[in-house]
Amino acid sequence: MTLKDNPDTDEQEFNLEKISPELLLKDTALGFDSAFKFAVDLLDNFSQVLYGSPYALMVATVSVLTGEHLLLEDAPGVGKTILAKAIAKSLGVQASRIQGQPDLLPSDVTGFSIFNPETTQWTFRPGPVFSQIVLCDELNRTPPRTQAALLECMEEAQVTIDGTTHLLPNPHLIIATQNPLSQQGTFPLVESQTDRFGLSCSIGYPQIEDEIKLAINHGTADQVLKIKEIGDQELWLSVIRTSGLVHVSEAVARYAVEICRYTREQPFISLGASPRAAISLINSARGVALINRRDYVIPNDVQVIATASVAHRLAVDPPHRPQEIISNILRSVAQPRP
Amino acid sequence: MSIPNFPYQSSYNSYENAKPLLEDAKEEKVGFIEFIRRANKPGRYERSISLRITSTAAVVIGILAAGTVGELSPIAIGITAISTIAGSIYSAFSYKRPRLWFKLVLAIFGIGIFSQFLLHIVAAANSGQLTSVLGPLATLFASVQALHAFDVPARRDLGFSLAGSATLVAIGAASALNTSFIFIIALWFIVVVWGMISMWGSMAEGKVSTGRSLKQASIATSVVLAVAFAIVISLPAPTPLQTIQLPSSVTNQVQLSNGGGLVNPGTKNIEPAQPGKPGGKIAVGGYVGFAGPLNTGLRGQLSNQIVLRVRAPHPSYWLGETFNNWDGQSWTQKGGNTKAISGPSPFYLPITGPNVQASGVISPSRDIQTFYVATDLPNLLFAADTPEEVFYPGSQIFLGPGRSIRSGLAMNSGLIYTVISQDTRATNEQLAQALPQGASPTFGLSSQELSTDLELPNSYSRVHNLALSIVSKANANTTYEIVTALENWMAKNVKYSTNIPPLPPNADSVNQFLFVTKTGFCEQISSALVVMLRTLGIPAREAVGYVPGSFNALTDLYEIKASDAHAWVQVWYGPLGWQNSDPTASVPFSTPTPGSLLLHSISNFASSHKLWLEIIIPLLLLTNGGYLLLLALKKREALSWIDAQEAKLRKASRKNNSWPAGETSFSQRVKQLGGQLGPTGDPNKIKTAIKLREISESIEKLYYGRGNIKPTDSPPKSLATEIESKINQVYKELIKDKGPAEK
């Protein structure tokens, strides 16, 4: 399967039967070892296209393992899109791309009904959001109503058009990028929308050695085409289910919840982490545990993923930065003892 | 943004035995031991300098506050204040040193101070001997604070200092005699509020703007201040328990050598009041009736200066002395002689008159009244009702005629004495039933003594007729009815005024008052009542002293002004003895707070069950101490496994100074220790590092994995021995390795 840049030119109708409710309900949990192998393969694939950003690679892997939507915030040209493409390619699933721009309409994202004169019937044409992986480039350039259309997709995993509800494929992962530096002509994401992204991170500029390697390797050929598919939709779904079965002890859950509650108590944080953030933090920590070949979460897993999972949800008074606050909080909240 | 341990590089455990899933997690309740453990978790070193300075200042202010009211001796003030400051400076600079030995030394000092405190109390309770008002409690608290100042590393410890200074200030406030103490409290309050603001700032890691916190703190503190004021107003100062200590002291000791005679400092150096002349000025404490005859022809003005402060459970007439002999113008004392009572305090007074307790009508409670002399007074010891015991700083007191207790020392400002009285006041119902007309038994007094209380210089026939007509009109039969009828008549037909014309020479004061002027003050009114009662054959006498004065809710003291000097009547009620009766327009008594009434009853209970309390209090102390010790041991036991493992590795790695710092969990520290050993390239060290990682992972699996145990639990025995044996191996290897510096 290939990455489609413009869904409008694609004549093929989306096959909704493939994601029937039976498939959704089927218990497809794998063994933890298979899930771990899947995670290591993913990391291998990602490290072929992106050099020197281990944290971003880990966050992207956790996002795939747990199905948490991913928001990449960074300057242009550091490899946000490449990473998103690599995710789609590795999973061997259908992916589509939305290029954020101010005149993008909600129907451009979700799809629309068209009148067929031959059959005298309205036919639904699914939009790019019906792909399993949706890459929203420059999300903060889309107008708020289009952002709002994405909200329902992200939380409910369904789209309602003309009174009909269409289920989105499962698993369904939205990877959005935004460029925090240029604020001209942007519509900043509202808090409710950033809260729906389970994970967020920046990639950062590579070290000089990595950049040289990058310049050589990416000069002529698309590295993404070289990476191998490591699974399909069914395998991915069962990996997500397996990650949900990673054991979280009460002490660790308490630790994660205490971190989230602590953000609400700080005077310089005007909006703290929601209970949804705590759920998402624990869920993401399960992904970290899986990467480390464990079937249980330790406090360190929570610490590792806390910045990516919580920081982007906070509304912080300047001059504080959410990332700094999270690392301060990790020092302040008492850890479980053993 | 720092990236913590990159996770996917960790070693891989085997997962062949992935257990069945979806096991319900066990509910964890935070038990008492766990609660204590969390509360006692050692805090980090506090970096806020302003918090350190304010907490030290608060304690020093507390020590000075307790000192200014005499609860601490000057030596104790000096030692505790200086050692508090020295200790705070020491703690501020000693955040890196291991201080176990130091804590031991502090503990030994603490035990010493506490045992001295206990010995002091036991000695005081055993002997009943009063040497000073210096409170052993204040000394104990001040010393504990001074010791504590040497060990205040964390924010919580500084908070304890702030809170502890409150107890010292409270001790001072409880025994403060006047309202000016409020300024010390205000100063302390400002310091504490500033300390709390710095504490808050330090909690938020310096990210709160001072303006915002100041605003919020000022709102919070004004609320607290309002609540505190309400509490101070409504709560009484504690009435001292008789089993411990009662205050008596003297600051300026002047021995009188007149053998119990009365001395009135007020009549010196001032224009004396004289009969037949308009009012002169009388010095502050020198009401003429307190020394020598009570001349009703005298006119004078009394000032409004405070002369006495009294801590008492309820308001009473503070009786100075009584007079039994009336010559038409002056009251004098006839019969009786002055008897010296010597010996150390307390002085026990013989009780004359009927034993009201034996009569069964009244079961008197014991009231403890402490008198603080505020200006020079005649050497009369005032007391309410029937005094039994006097705690007094001198070596001798005198029992004079007319139930007067006389001081052997000059009553200078600053003298403090305490009287325990039987509260022999009878209720109106008891008075009404007390003595039928014509009953003759003398109830403990000689008939000669009683007859003196009936004598009149002449027949007073006009007064007798007036009294008879009043009594018959009111249809009064019993003593109580007669007294009430006469008092009611007085209230209706006589005008109260302190500004009355001089008494003409040779005029009879009572006749002049009842039939000519019909205007007078307490002396005229009470004298007239006594004469009227005597003409009707009821023994009565004149009493002088002070009315209760106004109650100061802040200090919980009755404040008596010079103008509160008063004259009233004591009427003989047979089995009930002498009872006060005040014909002068009723003096409104200040009401004590409900709290002081409660404390009064507690104090009564304590004094009547003295022996039991002496047994029960030490027993309670012992059992509580034992319980706390048990708790400490149990806590230690509950923490033992992880603590023991950590202690082993910590001890071993101290050689290399490599035990990781910071507030991470034990397993993470073990992992970090392995990480420090790993990169050296030495194969032995790498082996140790791998073992450390294995230990860390098995502990993590034990506590966080499926079927996990609580963070406070010890692991099952087989697993524990397995992990311990690995730790022992690592311990030996680490001990062997002296580190690169010694190679």
Q: Are residues A187 and A270 in the same domain?
A: no
B35 at interface of A, judged by CB pairs closer than 8 A: no
Query: Rounded to a whole number, what is the distance in Å from the CA of A253 to chain B's nearest CA?
Result: 10
Residue from the list B1, B22, B41 with its beta carbon closest to the beta carbon of A323? B1
Q: Are residues A236 and A279 in the same domain?
A: no
Q: How many domains, chain A?
A: 2
Q: What is the DSSP letter of B516?
A: I
pLDDT at residue B632 tops 90: no
pLDDT tens digits for B559-602?
888 878 888 888 888 777 888 888 775 544 445 555 556 666 66
How many inter-chain contacts (A to B, CB under 8 Å) are there?
A: 126
Structure tokens at B132: 């000073």
> A259 in helix, strand or coil?
helix
CATH of the domain at A275: 1.10.8.80
| Residues in chain B within 8 Å Cβ distance of A33 | 15, 18
A36 at interface of B, judged by CB pairs closer than 8 A: yes
Residue from the list B5, B204, B712 with its beta carbon closest to the beta carbon of A300? B5
Per-residue pLDDT of chain A (338 residues; tens, 9 = 90+): 333 444 443 434 444 444 444 444 444 567 788 888 899 999 988 888 888 888 899 999 999 999 999 998 888 788 888 888 888 888 888 888 888 888 888 888 888 888 888 888 888 888 888 888 888 888 888 888 888 888 778 888 888 887 888 888 888 899 998 877 666 777 888 777 788 899 998 888 888 988 888 888 776 557 778 888 888 888 898 899 888 888 899 999 999 999 999 998 888 888 889 999 999 999 999 999 999 888 899 998 999 999 999 998 888 887 788 888 888 888 888 888 77
Last residue of a domain, one of A177, A212, A244: A244
Over chain B, what is the mean pLDDT? 75
Asked if A338 and B41 come within 8 Å (Cβ–Cβ), the reply is no
The DSSP secondary structure of A126-154, one letter per residue, reads E-GGGSSEEEEETGGGS-HHHHHHHHHHH
Last residue of a domain, one of A225, A244, A263: A244
Displacement of CA A206 from its chain's centroid (Å): 22
- Burial state string for A271-293 with b = 16 or more CB within 10 A and e = fewer than 16: ebbbeebbebbbbbbbbbbbbbb
Q: Are residues A214 and A118 in the same domain?
A: yes
In angstroms, the first-to-last Cα distance of chain A is: 48
CB A163 within 8 A of CB A21: no
CB A50 within 8 A of CB A203: yes
pLDDT tens digits for B215-248?
666 777 777 777 777 776 666 655 554 444 566 6
The pLDDT value given to residue B13? 29
SS3 of A37-67: the string is HHHHHHHHHHHHHCCCCHHHHHHHHHHHHHC
Angle between helices A54-66 and A275-291 (to 10 degrees): 110
A29 at interface of B, judged by CB pairs closer than 8 A: yes
Nearest CA in chain B to A305: B4
Q: Are residues A319 and A178 in the same domain?
A: no
Scan residues 51-110 of A and list those with Cβ closer than 8 Å to B. 54-55, 58
Strand partners, B22: none
Higher pLDDT, residue B604 or A42 = A42
Query: Rounded to a whole number, what is the distance in Å from the CA of B707 to chain A's nearest CA?
Result: 9
pLDDT at residue B480 tops 80: yes
Asked if A297 and B666 come within 8 Å (Cβ–Cβ), the reply is no
In B39-100, DSSP assigns E strands to none
Q: Are residues A287 and A198 in the same domain?
A: no
The pLDDT value given to residue B267? 52
CA-CA distance, A302 to A251, in Å (whole number)?
A: 12
Q: Which amino acid is at B523?
A: E
Residue from the list B204, B662, B708 with its beta carbon closest to the beta carbon of A249? B708
Q: Are residues A100 and A236 in the same domain?
A: yes
pLDDT at residue B126 tops 50: yes
CB B652 within 8 A of CB B735: yes
A315 located within any domain: yes
CA-CA distance, B730 to B651, in Å (whole number)?
A: 12
A13 located within any domain: no
Asked if A296 and B705 come within 8 Å (Cβ–Cβ), the reply is yes
* B647: Cα within 13 Å, side-chain hemisphere: 6
Q: Are residues A149 and A280 in the same domain?
A: no
Q: Are residues A175 and A296 in the same domain?
A: no
Q: Which amino acid is at B499?
A: N
Nearest CA in chain B to A242: B21
Q: Which amino acid is at A23?
A: L
Q: Are residues A71 and A105 in the same domain?
A: yes
CA-CA distance, B548 to B309, in Å (whole number)?
A: 10
Q: Are residues A181 and A286 in the same domain?
A: no
Q: What is the dihedral of CA B597, B603, B609, B614, to 10 degrees?
A: 150
- The structural domains of chain B, with segments of one domain joined by +, span 41-234, 265-456+521-530+538-590, 639-742
CA-CA distance, B197 to B404, in Å (whole number)?
A: 58
| Residues in chain A within 8 Å Cβ distance of B727 | none
pLDDT at residue B56 tops 70: yes
A46 at interface of B, judged by CB pairs closer than 8 A: no
pLDDT at residue B327 tops 80: yes
The pLDDT value given to residue B561? 82
Pairing outcome for strands A158-161 and A164-167: antiparallel
Q: What is the dihedral of CA A180, A183, A184, A188, to 10 degrees?
A: 100
Query: Rounded to a whole number, what is the distance in Å from the CA of A265 to chain B's nearest CA?
Result: 10
Residue from the list A33, A247, A300 with its beta carbon closest to the beta carbon of B15? A33
CATH of the domain at A148: 3.40.50.300
Query: Rounded to a whole number, what is the distance in Å from the CA of A50 to chain B's nearest CA?
Result: 16
Count CB neighbours of B630 within 10 A: 10
Pairing outcome for strands A173-178 and A70-73: parallel
Spell out the alpha helix ranges (H) of B300-427: 356-359
Average pLDDT over residues B616-628: 74
Structure tokens at B62: 């507390």
Asked if B21 and A245 come within 8 Å (Cβ–Cβ), the reply is yes
| Residues in chain A within 8 Å Cβ distance of B642 | 337-338
A121 located within any domain: yes
CA distances from B38 to A300, A328, A337, B548, B738 (A): 20, 21, 10, 54, 35
B8 at interface of A, judged by CB pairs closer than 8 A: yes
B206 at interface of A, judged by CB pairs closer than 8 A: no
Q: Which domain holds residue A89?
A: 1-7+20-244
The pLDDT value given to residue B30? 57
Q: Are residues A209 and A109 in the same domain?
A: yes
Q: Which helix (H) or strand (E) holds B311?
A: strand B306-311
Nearest CA in chain A to B14: A293
pLDDT at residue B738 tops 70: no
CA-CA distance, B185 to B58, in Å (whole number)?
A: 10
CA-CA distance, B311 to B315, in Å (whole number)?
A: 9
Higher pLDDT, residue B303 or B695 = B695
The label of the residue with tokens 């206990």 reads B118
Query: Rounded to a whole number, what is the distance in Å from the CA of B15 to chain A's nearest CA?
Result: 7
Scan residues 681-710 of B and list those with Cβ closer than 8 Å to A. 699-706, 708, 710
A75 located within any domain: yes
Asked if A36 and B10 come within 8 Å (Cβ–Cβ), the reply is no
The pLDDT value given to residue B741? 42
Last residue of a domain, one of A175, A210, A244: A244
The pLDDT value given to residue B21? 26
Q: Are residues A277 and A305 in the same domain?
A: yes
